[in-house]
Amino acid sequence: SSEYRTLWEHLVRTGAAPSRDRFGSGPRSVQKVLELTHVERVLLPDLEGGYRVGRKALLELRGAGCSAIPDCDALQLLCDQQLGLNEVFLYHGCRAANISGILAQGFDATRSGERNGRFFGRGTYFTDVAAKADSYVDAAADGSRCLIVAQ
């Protein structure tokens, strides 16, 4: 599908993109080549319903226009751009053991930093660069790795 192709192109482009180092001290070269082998769309009905209610409230509060996000190479779908919502798709990297919990219940900001510290405080972290998210992922026995792409 065109959605799959758009995601694939973005992952390949940002999978080898320069990234700031972990504490933001400057650019560095990321020597990765990411290959997309499997995509699975997961919708969480309870969370999706809450998201739609919040999205509608935001539109009613401020209207549909907003300015572009500076220095952001995040993936946007055309329908979101037409609404002017600045909604984007961002990558999240985590241990494989955490994926099933995230997919079942959504992201839990209270558990953030358990593995990598809390340099920026509690929160759930996302990036517009696949290579950056990949640095927080552990590999399965077959060498495959999983990134979550969230809206």
pLDDT at 4: 82
Q: Compute the distance between CA of residue 16 and CA of residue 130 in angstroms, rounded to an integer.
A: 8
Q: Is the pLDDT of residue 35 over 60?
A: yes
Q: Which residue has the tokens 């070269």?
A: 29
Largest CA distance in the chain: 48
DSSP state at residue 122: S
**Entry pTM:** 0.76
Q: Compute the distance between CA of residue 149 and CA of residue 146 in angstroms, rounded to an integer.
A: 10
124 and 113 Cβ atoms separated by less than 8 Å? no
Tens-digit pLDDT profile for residues 21-34: 545 555 555 556 77
129 and 14 Cβ atoms separated by less than 8 Å? yes
DSSP state at residue 136: T
Which of 122, 130, 126 lies closest to 146 in space, CA to CA? 130
Where exactly are the structural domains of the chain? 2-150
CATH architecture type of domain 2-150 = Alpha-Beta Complex (3.90)
Average pLDDT over residues 85-106: 85
Q: Which residue has the tokens 């482009």?
A: 13
φ and ψ of 24, to 5 deg: 70, 25
Average pLDDT over residues 56-68: 76
